[in-house]
Structure 1
């Protein structure tokens, strides 16, 4: 990429190295703020478009290109979050965050990593756990941005305030409110190996249509939420209770009679993927606590499964 306003057609943009090194950071930020890899990509494209729309002299005068890009990307996300509530109201059924693959699968008794995937640009940690992202959806846009910028990306409240358009004290309160929401909604988790065992046991019971085994793996007050986006069949409301969920999964094959269920990591946690003729048709994420499955999130909307199919 060159700067067309420079003295020669091949002269590199003075800020090229600085801004391209920020791309992964921006993708990580935008995905956590929006819960959508596709929208995160769009935000980063828009951010870079605004950067290159500036005259070269203005770009050169910016002391911290990375800081400028983060500010713009955060503000674009804030605007999108403001309009997202209206979009959610028009959405058919339940809306879930876009599940994120990481190229890891269970093969011959151990987890193995496949070839790199474009989604690998998102760093997998607890802040992209599906349970975490679902709680973020319950926050106001300002809460979400203040919390992610400060608690996840460690921006000082003075800088968060400039981005959000509030005082540092107000941003501190927003982040504190977000933390309370997270603490109130997230049960005590269990070790990764135990998570894997429970998800594998669920897969086996599902494939065997063993209702009693499924009930034994689910918390009595468990919930299961599906997201088809109106494009494929999915329950419009969450299923509640171990018995109802067990009967639903036992009575319904994995999205199609000939589908294959595979163990995969979903947003950094053990999950399941249903494929039909090599195409991913459903991705299941799990929230596990106290040795039981508390929540199941099943994403069937094909528009949200593109990173899983284009692998």
Structure 2
């Protein structure tokens, strides 16, 4: 009877996943959710190399980290804490990675090769998915199978259909010139596209998060209240649409909730290498349990902040 129940739960979750087409985690959190301020080091320089920035965690709790120093994507499958394998071959300083719900892995290969590469599920080699002008500081695939790239050095976000018959990408944010107006960006980093196809951009050098409604080239700045951002590099959401941000130059993680924005981890504002500090944090991602992983660039590691079960 227990096996039958577990099978039905697994089947239900599998069907939901197939219907939703969402490969990343958006956990349901309580209003007072807090995280242990002493982080666990999930991976260090031995496995992720020097100055990593890119990461993705899927709904199976598989962790993908862009080891740009060694030209590969390191993989820990299905919640494992032991390195499982990697994607490599022809990669030049991969900056970002995104994995779709069918297991396809998209990797920035724009440093010298000016493209995004794709590894199909269980494939041993890659194929070009999109040709670019520069590195993609962030990659994202939306529910309509549109691939997005944040070209930070071009101050733009572009998108392209994954339909292989359509090879042209379109500008969805930014003019190509650095600026702080509603229509311009300055070194965009992390991007996120919600189910309503609204685009959110961590506008790094403008110290803001911009929201672009579908088809609109003028963005709206997200008001973060008393929290003043400095160099945001990543933006994600939980199940209720609350926003979580890497506030890189302030060396901390920010989260929102019913009571507004607050610091949730590494709140001293000082860089460092202790388990409660970060040094140029970049991508953040949830696992299915609501734990927060963050790529800690200058500490050459990935840190894991555990959700406190009794915080609610």
Q: Same fold (TM over 0.5)?
A: no
* Greater percentage in strand: 2
**Normalized against structure 1, the TM-score is what?**
0.28
* Greater percentage in helix: 1
Larger radius of gyration: 1
